[in-house]
Copies of this chain bind each other. A is one copy, B any other.
Amino acid sequence: MIQVAINGYGNLGRGVETSLANFPDMELAAVFTRRKPADALKISSRVPVVNVNDAAKWTDKIDVMLLCGGSAMDLPEQGPEFAGMFNTVDSFDTHAKIPEYLAKIDAAANKSGKLSVVSIGWDPGLFSLMRMYMGAIMPNGLTYSFWGDGVSQGHSDAIRRVEGVIGAVQYTRPVADAMQRVRNGELPSLKLSEKHTRECFVVAAENADKERIANEIQTMKHYFDGYDTTVHFITLEELHENHSTLPHGGNVIHSAKTGASNAHALEFSLKLGSNPEFTASVMLAYARAAYRLNSAGETGGRTAFDIAPKFLAAGTPDEIVRGLL
């Protein structure tokens, strides 16, 4: 059994705990937290909860540590730190900073003799793989990524920072017409805001000026400005009742021609009932790969592009050739 640890017990960490039940060759060894005392954190599994400062004592009990912190504040520091002690998998998703992050992880993991896989999940992750496979096979075509329908936690957080807002959930929705044009092979030029709309469910404080709130949301730079944004005001009860799950999904579509006129459309789509539990599932498959590769003597930082598919599968190479090829 591959001994897995969770570091950070938020949505993603709990997702790992839940999804792990589907991986018969892995088991949870411990949950690491920054809380003091660690056992102030109540978890669902009957495994030790350990303060991150005691992690070094666990290096021979853990095969792979899943880093479940956020990309903005947690992983830039935690990634290199724990790559210096454990095989790790993370979902670092600040696209522009991935090369720099990967370089730091690579140095730390080579020094510790461990292997770390960065930026794993569905985007970055599976969608990145699809963009790569599709573009490699049909280099003369164009690849389009659409996100949604799903909850954007970053945008929901941004709305919650608006004065007078008590609670909010933001759904990103793909524009069906734009998607159809891509599928039709029109190769349109599309801005992010032409591919997606934003729908916000907002709970306002009593007596708050709803018009001002809606306007502040719709004109918020980097988040909503330029997008077709709808704001609905609802009650706190409605928010809890109808908007407490974290669905997401999206589509990667590649359109290209061969010869004079043969059109090809390649598409990968996800409809996810729980974004964190799915992301966790992808991370667990790569945890298996990290463990196998490190057991075979490999060290350093890796992305999904570096890892041969067979290392993810539960079966032996012969079993996957017979069963899946």
Contacts and interface: CB of A to CB of B under 8 A. Distances in A.
A263 B278 CA distance: 10
18 contacts: A22-B138, A22-B139, A22-B256, A99-B318, A99-B321, A132-B320, A133-B285, A139-B314, A258-B281, A264-B273, A264-B278, A265-B271, A303-B321, A304-B325, A305-B308, A305-B309, A305-B320, A308-B308
A140 interface: yes
Oligomeric state, in copies: 2
Contacts of A258: 15, 18-19, 22, 273-274, 277-278, 280-281
A128 interface: yes
B271 A264 contact: yes
Contacts of A268: 266-269
Contact of A136 (B98, B261, B277, B313): B313
Contacts of A280: 258
Interface in A246-264: 256-259, 261-264
Contact of A132 (B15, B98, B132, B312): B312
A6 to B, nearest CB: 15
A47 interface: no
